[in-house]
Amino acid sequence: MSLDPGGRPGGEVKFFVGLILAGIGLYLFFDSVHFTSGHRGLISGMMGRQGGGGFRETTSMGIILVPLFSGVVALFFDVRQTWAWILTVIGFLILIIEIVSRMRPYFDAKASHAILMMIMIAGGFGLMLRGYIEDKRKSGSD
């Protein structure tokens, strides 16, 4: 089994330099993405009501815990009840969906750093591609 890019010798250095360059660029890019919460979630946002000033108020997140709470109570009463397991799983899934839907990513980087990251990512992928097909150009094959 050959470890050469494209299955032929040549281009390994460019490929791995491109891989490292793209990896560093992607790391810096994702390191600049931060998450915040506090926005209305998917489920509690649907249960919201119109507030004063045209803003939409959300209901308490506690209402979405009712299925999970009910399922756990039923499981403690009788663990063999299938409906209690289903209710518990549904309650847990609702909780996960609500938490994840409240997260909002934002990109926090200076413009010069963002441009540098994009150049590193694009340049790295370009070098990887060039290293991968370099020998095909030299040999003139497909």
* Per-residue model confidence as pLDDT tens digits over 102-136: 777 788 888 999 899 999 999 999 988 888 787 56
Residue 62 phi/psi, 5-degree rounding, is: -60, -30
Sign of the C-alpha dihedral computed for residues 111, 114, 116 and 119 taken in this order: negative
**pLDDT: is 97 or 24 the higher one?**
24
CB atoms within 10 A of CB 134: 19
Q: What's the pLDDT at 34?
A: 81
Q: Got the DSSP string for 22-38? A: HHHHHHHHHHTEEEE--
Q: What's the pLDDT at 92?
A: 92
Segment 41-67, tens digit of pLDDT: 666 555 555 554 444 545 566 778 889
Q: What's the pLDDT at 48?
A: 54
Report which secondary-structure segment, H or E, holds 50. strand 49-50
Closest CA relative to residue 22, chosen from 132, 127, 131, 130: 127
Q: Are the C-beta atoms of residues 97 and 43 closer than 8 Å to each other? A: yes
First to last CA, the chain: 21
> Does residue 7 surpass a pLDDT of 60?
no
> Does residue 22 surpass a pLDDT of 70?
yes
Residue ranges covered by each domain of the chain: 12-35+109-136, 60-103
2-6, 37-41, 110-114: least confident range: 2-6
